[in-house]
Chain A
Amino acid sequence: MTGGQEMAGDHESLAGHGPGPGDVDLGRVWLGVAAEVWRRHPGPAERAAGRLLRSPGLARALVTAPSLLAGWLIATAAVLLAGLFATLGTGTPYVPLLAPAVAAAGIAYAYGPGIDPAWELSRSMAVSDRMVLLARALAVFGLNAALGLAAAAAGAAAVPTAAAVTFGWLVPMTAVCALALAAATLARSANVGVIVGVAGWAIVVLAGQSASGRLTAVITDTVLVLPYLAFAAVCAAIAWAATRIPRGTS
């Protein structure tokens, strides 16, 4: 055990050194020590997720999603906060306009390949990469929705004219996220997903503004709800198909 160069063909025979008593398995003892010293202790979020999902593997895959890591979440919160301050300054509800784009980026980055370097290995796992993607996408969406709601509510409290859009933007956000996910899975690239999602949303917002003169038209017009949801459903189906593993032939 003095160097990392050799491989022990039999891990039970680590005790090659020194005259230990013959019937004491020092290799076994070392494994017990190493297991304790090397083990990772999951945080409370991961433990809760493991119990909820009944799969410690899925929970681990969830908390290692790039867009659920602390840095990403902080960046998301920062963007929404900036939108909040902009709202307070100008009265235009920027948060509901920004939130869908930010969420779409997060959703696209929940995906790999493009993000997941060991994707081929991930495709051979019992916890399938599709389950991982689904769990991550839902978690990212939920978190973004919560953050966005908090920021939008704060904005609405400060600027009463924006109150009407506190919840309505969740529907277009669903549609934009589904679009980003479909693009990412089809192109097998998270970056493509981000670009398509954010650009798509920007185009829709600007189109809405030029059509009705209001920047928030795409969020407040209730007639758009059904088309949004239908669009989201189609994109979700595309994403599902793009990640399918077709049946074998036997």
Chain B
Amino acid sequence: MNVEISDLTRRFGRTHAVAGVSLQAGAGVFGLLGPNGAGKTTLLRMMATVIPPSSGKLRLLGRDPGSYGPRREIRRRVGYLPQNLGYYPGFTVAEFVEYFALLKDMPSRQVPRAVAAAVEQVGLGDKARSRLRTLSGGMLRRAGIAQAIVNQPELLLLDEPTAGLDPEQRVTFRALLRDLGERATVIVSTHLVEDVGAACGEVALMDAGKIVFRGTPDELTARGEGSGAAGDAPLERGYSAVLATARSATAVRS
């Protein structure tokens, strides 16, 4: 198990961004769905060790990120793509990917080849020496994916990775995900439901800081049967049905 989470919470002031999440994940591709504000980004940030949890148990790659040494070791083996990735405009794509490869403690001998592989893998091979300020939004996103995969991470966390990618690029991106998911735990957070349906073996749906559904995409589709309009995509129907159930349950309780 690369990720073991038990009753994890994260508070900001009085708000519970994450209100008791339990999750276990081994190798494979996991989709994290949910509306904006559901807590997906906060959960990913905790898994990336960017912020600490307020309470609960978190174990990543068999280690406890609470202390410096294990946390550093975890970070060497993690790849993270935040939702808002700033970039250094004067850097080229290769320099950008190399910068983070070095910050992940990759041995400098291995870095050039790893950078080349990552850049080619995201299809930026003919832009490798172009400055980031000359790239489109979708290309920047792909550069971000490249830095996340450069160290061949065991845990890959992607927050809205397909923002700015056109449909054809999304197809090839899903193929990349499946590839990576064979050896690593890949967790993709997105609000584009159909985006991950094809690539993910398992899906979790978050709402208001809690996980309200965990299962395969087919199971999520099944939850949507009999509801929604005829033209709706099946996964979206399931998504809406689950959310509606979860929210009415909360309304009944309160």
Contact = CB atoms under 8 A, between A and B. Distances in A.
Interface of A: 1, 3-11, 14, 30-32, 34-36, 38-40, 50, 55-57, 60-61, 64, 116-128, 245-250
A90 to B, nearest CB: 40
Given A31-B120, A38-B128, A250-B66, A126 B48 contact: no
B142 A249 contact: no
A248 B112 contact: no
A38 B173 contact: no
Interface in B166-195: 168-169, 172-173, 175-176, 178-179
A40 B115 CA distance: 11
Given A57-B105, A248-B64, A35 B49 contact: no
A124 B129 contact: no
Contacts of A122: 103
A250 B94 CA distance: 38
Contacts of A127: 102-105
B66 A120 contact: no
A57 B103 contact: yes
B15 interface: no
Contacts of B95: 40
A250 B80 contact: no
Contact of B176 (A7, A38, A121): A7
A143 B41 CA distance: 40
Given A31-B120, A126-B75, A126-B104, 4 more contacts: A55-B105, A118-B86, A121-B147, A127-B105
B76 interface: yes
Nearest to B148: A121
A170 to B, nearest CB: 32
A66 to B, nearest CB: 10
Interface string B114-129: 0111011111111111
A49 to B, nearest CB: 12
B65 A125 contact: no
Contacts of B139: 4
A128 B123 CA distance: 29
B58 interface: yes
Query: Is chain A's binding surface mostly helix, strand, loop or mixed?
Result: loop
A61 B127 CA distance: 23
Contacts of B248: none
B59 interface: yes
B113 interface: yes
Contacts of A61: 99, 103
Interface in B58-111: 58-59, 64-67, 71-73, 75-76, 78, 80, 82, 84-88, 94-95, 98-100, 102-106, 108, 111
Contact of A56 (B64, B85, B87, B102): B102
A124 to B, nearest CB: 4
Q: Which of B100, B102, B176 has the most CB of A within 10 A?
A: B102
B50 interface: yes
Nearest to B94: A38
A7 B80 contact: no
Contacts of B108: 50, 56
B52 interface: yes
A11 B123 CA distance: 9
A249 B53 contact: yes
A64 B119 CA distance: 22
A169 to B, nearest CB: 35
B54 interface: yes
Contacts of B86: 116-121
Contact of B80 (A9, A32, A34, A121): A121
Nearest to A123: B50
B85 A121 contact: yes
B56 interface: yes
Contacts of B50: 120, 123-124
A61 B100 CA distance: 10
